[in-house]
Amino acid sequence: MDCFVYHAPELTPDLSVKPEGDVPVDCAIVVDVLRATTTIATALTSRAEAIQAFADLDRLKAAGEAWDANLRILSGERGGDKVAGFDLGNSPLDYTPGRVEGKRIFMSTTNGTRALQRVQYAPVLLTAALVNVDAVVKSVVEHQFNSLWIVNSGWQGDYSLEDTVCSGAILHQLQSAGVDVTAGNDEAIAAIALYKTWSDDLLELLRQASHGQRLLRLHKDSDLEYCAALSTLDIVPYQSDLGVLVA
Ligand code: 3SL
Protein backbone atom coordinates (compact mmCIF):
# COMPACT_ATOMS: atom_id res chain seq x y z
CA MET A 1 0.00 0.00 0.00
CA ASP A 2 1.39 3.43 -0.96
CA CYS A 3 1.27 5.58 2.15
CA PHE A 4 1.67 9.35 2.30
CA VAL A 5 1.74 11.57 5.37
CA TYR A 6 0.84 15.26 5.04
CA HIS A 7 1.69 17.63 7.86
CA ALA A 8 -1.19 20.09 7.42
CA PRO A 9 -4.36 20.49 5.34
CA GLU A 10 -2.64 23.18 3.24
CA LEU A 11 0.13 20.70 2.31
CA THR A 12 -2.35 18.01 1.25
CA PRO A 13 -3.52 17.61 -2.37
CA ASP A 14 -6.89 19.31 -2.58
CA LEU A 15 -9.92 17.04 -2.41
CA SER A 16 -12.22 19.71 -1.01
CA VAL A 17 -13.96 19.88 -4.38
CA LYS A 18 -15.04 16.88 -6.41
CA PRO A 19 -12.19 15.91 -8.79
CA GLU A 20 -13.01 15.79 -12.50
CA GLY A 21 -11.19 12.51 -13.21
CA ASP A 22 -10.00 9.66 -11.03
CA VAL A 23 -9.57 10.34 -7.32
CA PRO A 24 -5.83 9.94 -6.57
CA VAL A 25 -6.26 7.98 -3.33
CA ASP A 26 -8.39 5.14 -1.93
CA CYS A 27 -8.58 6.22 1.68
CA ALA A 28 -7.73 9.34 3.69
CA ILE A 29 -7.33 9.38 7.46
CA VAL A 30 -7.55 12.74 9.21
CA VAL A 31 -5.56 13.06 12.45
CA ASP A 32 -5.87 15.73 15.14
CA VAL A 33 -4.65 14.17 18.38
CA LEU A 34 -4.99 17.51 20.25
CA ARG A 35 -7.92 17.33 20.20
CA ALA A 36 -10.53 17.20 17.43
CA THR A 37 -10.23 13.58 16.32
CA THR A 38 -9.83 12.41 19.93
CA THR A 39 -13.09 14.23 20.69
CA ILE A 40 -14.79 12.74 17.62
CA ALA A 41 -13.79 9.19 18.65
CA THR A 42 -14.98 9.87 22.21
CA ALA A 43 -18.31 11.41 21.20
CA LEU A 44 -19.13 8.49 18.89
CA THR A 45 -18.12 6.01 21.61
CA SER A 46 -20.60 7.88 23.82
CA ARG A 47 -23.20 7.12 21.13
CA ALA A 48 -23.62 10.58 19.63
CA GLU A 49 -25.84 10.19 16.54
CA ALA A 50 -23.20 11.82 14.30
CA ILE A 51 -20.64 14.58 14.10
CA GLN A 52 -21.23 17.19 11.43
CA ALA A 53 -18.03 19.10 10.82
CA PHE A 54 -17.73 22.70 9.63
CA ALA A 55 -14.67 24.81 8.90
CA ASP A 56 -16.82 27.91 9.21
CA LEU A 57 -18.68 28.96 12.37
CA ASP A 58 -21.53 30.81 10.63
CA ARG A 59 -22.38 27.81 8.48
CA LEU A 60 -22.29 25.62 11.57
CA LYS A 61 -24.75 27.92 13.37
CA ALA A 62 -27.14 27.96 10.41
CA ALA A 63 -27.15 24.14 10.11
CA GLY A 64 -27.32 23.60 13.87
CA GLU A 65 -30.18 26.00 14.38
CA ALA A 66 -32.21 24.19 11.70
CA TRP A 67 -31.92 20.97 13.78
CA ASP A 68 -34.20 19.93 16.67
CA ALA A 69 -32.87 21.88 19.66
CA ASN A 70 -33.21 18.83 21.94
CA LEU A 71 -31.12 16.68 19.63
CA ARG A 72 -28.20 18.97 18.84
CA ILE A 73 -25.00 20.15 20.44
CA LEU A 74 -23.13 23.15 19.11
CA SER A 75 -19.44 22.46 19.59
CA GLY A 76 -16.98 25.24 18.83
CA GLU A 77 -13.29 25.76 19.59
CA ARG A 78 -10.92 28.54 18.64
CA GLY A 79 -7.43 28.90 20.10
CA GLY A 80 -8.12 26.06 22.55
CA ASP A 81 -11.16 27.69 24.18
CA LYS A 82 -14.88 27.14 23.78
CA VAL A 83 -16.49 29.62 21.39
CA ALA A 84 -18.85 31.97 23.29
CA GLY A 85 -22.49 30.91 22.99
CA PHE A 86 -21.68 27.30 22.04
CA ASP A 87 -22.72 24.31 24.18
CA LEU A 88 -19.32 22.63 24.35
CA GLY A 89 -15.70 23.27 23.45
CA ASN A 90 -13.23 20.64 22.31
CA SER A 91 -12.37 18.79 25.50
CA PRO A 92 -12.99 15.08 24.84
CA LEU A 93 -13.77 14.63 28.54
CA ASP A 94 -16.96 16.68 28.09
CA TYR A 95 -18.39 14.27 25.54
CA THR A 96 -19.99 11.84 27.99
CA PRO A 97 -22.97 9.62 27.14
CA GLY A 98 -25.10 11.75 29.48
CA ARG A 99 -24.44 14.83 27.36
CA VAL A 100 -24.21 13.50 23.81
CA GLU A 101 -26.07 10.19 23.42
CA GLY A 102 -28.48 10.34 20.46
CA LYS A 103 -27.44 13.89 19.58
CA ARG A 104 -25.93 15.38 16.48
CA ILE A 105 -22.79 17.35 17.22
CA PHE A 106 -22.25 20.37 15.00
CA MET A 107 -18.51 20.87 15.35
CA SER A 108 -15.94 23.43 14.29
CA THR A 109 -12.33 23.54 15.50
CA THR A 110 -9.27 25.58 14.54
CA ASN A 111 -7.52 22.95 12.40
CA GLY A 112 -9.23 19.55 12.59
CA THR A 113 -12.42 20.42 10.79
CA ARG A 114 -10.43 22.23 8.05
CA ALA A 115 -8.42 19.05 7.53
CA LEU A 116 -11.64 17.06 7.15
CA GLN A 117 -12.92 19.51 4.57
CA ARG A 118 -9.64 19.34 2.62
CA VAL A 119 -10.14 15.63 1.81
CA GLN A 120 -13.91 15.39 1.95
CA TYR A 121 -14.07 13.85 -1.54
CA ALA A 122 -11.76 10.95 -0.70
CA PRO A 123 -13.58 7.68 -1.51
CA VAL A 124 -13.19 6.60 2.13
CA LEU A 125 -12.58 9.14 4.87
CA LEU A 126 -11.74 8.02 8.42
CA THR A 127 -10.52 9.87 11.49
CA ALA A 128 -7.84 8.70 13.88
CA ALA A 129 -6.17 9.80 17.09
CA LEU A 130 -3.89 7.92 19.46
CA VAL A 131 -6.98 6.68 21.33
CA ASN A 132 -8.28 4.66 18.35
CA VAL A 133 -5.17 3.66 16.39
CA ASP A 134 -5.74 -0.11 16.67
CA ALA A 135 -9.36 0.07 15.52
CA VAL A 136 -8.49 2.25 12.52
CA VAL A 137 -5.55 0.03 11.55
CA LYS A 138 -7.77 -3.06 11.72
CA SER A 139 -10.28 -1.42 9.42
CA VAL A 140 -7.59 -0.35 6.90
CA VAL A 141 -6.14 -3.88 6.89
CA GLU A 142 -9.57 -5.37 6.21
CA HIS A 143 -10.26 -3.03 3.29
CA GLN A 144 -6.95 -3.72 1.51
CA PHE A 145 -6.60 -0.24 0.04
CA ASN A 146 -3.90 0.38 -2.57
CA SER A 147 -3.20 3.91 -1.38
CA LEU A 148 -3.54 5.82 1.86
CA TRP A 149 -3.14 9.48 2.82
CA ILE A 150 -2.73 10.39 6.45
CA VAL A 151 -3.68 14.02 6.77
CA ASN A 152 -2.41 15.74 9.90
CA SER A 153 -4.35 18.77 11.06
CA GLY A 154 -1.18 20.44 12.34
CA TRP A 155 -1.49 23.96 13.64
CA GLN A 156 -2.51 26.79 11.30
CA GLY A 157 -0.76 25.31 8.29
CA ASP A 158 2.30 24.02 10.13
CA TYR A 159 3.76 20.76 11.39
CA SER A 160 2.63 19.27 14.68
CA LEU A 161 4.54 16.70 16.69
CA GLU A 162 1.51 14.91 18.14
CA ASP A 163 -0.22 14.35 14.80
CA THR A 164 3.02 13.11 13.25
CA VAL A 165 3.58 10.58 16.03
CA CYS A 166 0.03 9.28 15.55
CA SER A 167 0.62 8.96 11.78
CA GLY A 168 3.75 6.98 12.62
CA ALA A 169 1.80 4.76 15.04
CA ILE A 170 -0.72 3.95 12.29
CA LEU A 171 1.98 3.10 9.75
CA HIS A 172 4.00 1.11 12.30
CA GLN A 173 0.94 -0.94 13.32
CA LEU A 174 0.08 -1.53 9.66
CA GLN A 175 3.59 -2.93 9.16
CA SER A 176 3.20 -5.08 12.29
CA ALA A 177 -0.07 -6.41 10.86
CA GLY A 178 1.87 -7.60 7.79
CA VAL A 179 0.82 -4.85 5.39
CA ASP A 180 3.44 -4.00 2.78
CA VAL A 181 3.73 -0.28 3.56
CA THR A 182 5.52 1.67 0.83
CA ALA A 183 6.44 5.17 1.96
CA GLY A 184 5.07 7.54 -0.69
CA ASN A 185 6.93 10.51 0.79
CA ASP A 186 9.72 11.23 3.29
CA GLU A 187 7.15 12.41 5.83
CA ALA A 188 5.89 8.82 6.13
CA ILE A 189 9.38 7.49 6.94
CA ALA A 190 9.99 10.30 9.45
CA ALA A 191 6.63 9.66 11.14
CA ILE A 192 7.46 5.99 11.74
CA ALA A 193 10.85 6.96 13.19
CA LEU A 194 9.25 9.52 15.49
CA TYR A 195 6.76 6.97 16.77
CA LYS A 196 9.47 4.37 17.42
CA THR A 197 11.43 6.94 19.45
CA TRP A 198 8.47 8.05 21.59
CA SER A 199 6.16 5.03 21.75
CA ASP A 200 6.96 4.42 25.44
CA ASP A 201 6.22 7.98 26.53
CA LEU A 202 3.55 9.50 24.35
CA LEU A 203 2.30 11.71 27.18
CA GLU A 204 5.71 13.37 27.52
CA LEU A 205 5.78 13.97 23.75
CA LEU A 206 2.37 15.65 23.98
CA ARG A 207 3.62 17.79 26.87
CA GLN A 208 6.62 18.94 24.83
CA ALA A 209 4.63 19.67 21.67
CA SER A 210 3.83 23.35 21.09
CA HIS A 211 0.07 22.75 21.09
CA GLY A 212 0.42 20.58 24.19
CA GLN A 213 2.17 23.53 25.87
CA ARG A 214 -0.63 25.83 24.75
CA LEU A 215 -3.24 23.50 26.29
CA LEU A 216 -1.21 23.15 29.49
CA ARG A 217 -1.24 26.94 29.82
CA LEU A 218 -5.06 26.66 29.62
CA HIS A 219 -4.93 24.03 32.45
CA LYS A 220 -5.97 21.15 30.17
CA ASP A 221 -3.59 18.62 31.79
CA SER A 222 -6.26 15.92 32.00
CA ASP A 223 -7.04 16.34 28.30
CA LEU A 224 -3.40 15.65 27.47
CA GLU A 225 -3.40 12.51 29.60
CA TYR A 226 -6.58 11.29 27.93
CA CYS A 227 -5.36 12.10 24.39
CA ALA A 228 -2.00 10.35 24.95
CA ALA A 229 -3.49 6.95 25.79
CA LEU A 230 -2.96 4.49 22.94
CA SER A 231 -5.91 2.50 21.56
CA THR A 232 -8.29 2.91 24.47
CA LEU A 233 -11.33 3.27 22.19
CA ASP A 234 -12.57 0.62 19.79
CA ILE A 235 -14.18 2.90 17.25
CA VAL A 236 -13.67 3.89 13.61
CA PRO A 237 -15.28 7.22 12.70
CA TYR A 238 -16.00 7.43 8.97
CA GLN A 239 -17.67 9.93 6.68
CA SER A 240 -21.13 8.69 5.68
CA ASP A 241 -22.26 11.89 3.92
CA LEU A 242 -20.31 15.01 3.07
CA GLY A 243 -19.04 16.42 6.40
CA VAL A 244 -20.93 13.86 8.48
CA LEU A 245 -19.03 11.31 10.57
CA VAL A 246 -20.57 8.25 12.14
CA ALA A 247 -19.29 5.14 13.91
O1 3SL B 1 -7.01 22.58 16.04
C2 3SL B 1 -8.01 21.94 16.31
O3 3SL B 1 -8.79 21.54 15.48
C4 3SL B 1 -8.31 21.69 17.76
O5 3SL B 1 -8.33 20.34 17.99
C6 3SL B 1 -7.42 22.50 18.65
S7 3SL B 1 -7.74 22.31 20.34
O8 3SL B 1 -7.00 21.20 20.87
O9 3SL B 1 -9.14 22.17 20.60
O10 3SL B 1 -7.25 23.54 20.99
Planar angle of CA 140, 141, 147, nearest 5 degrees: 60
What is the per-residue pLDDT for 140?
98
CA of 84 to the centre of ligand 1 (A): 16
What is the per-residue pLDDT for 37?
98
Q: Which residues of the chain have pLDDT under 50?
A: none
Please tell me if the CB atom of residue 39 comes closer than 6 angstroms to any atom of ligand 1: no
What is the per-residue pLDDT for 16?
97
Comparing CA positions, the residue from 27, 29, 26 lying closest to residue 40 is 29
DSSP state of 181: P
Residue nearest to atom 10 of ligand 1 (CA): 80
- What is the maximal distance between C-alpha atoms in the chain? 48
What is the per-residue pLDDT for 77?
95
**pLDDT tens across 186-227, in order?**
999 999 999 999 999 999 999 999 999 999 999 999 999 999
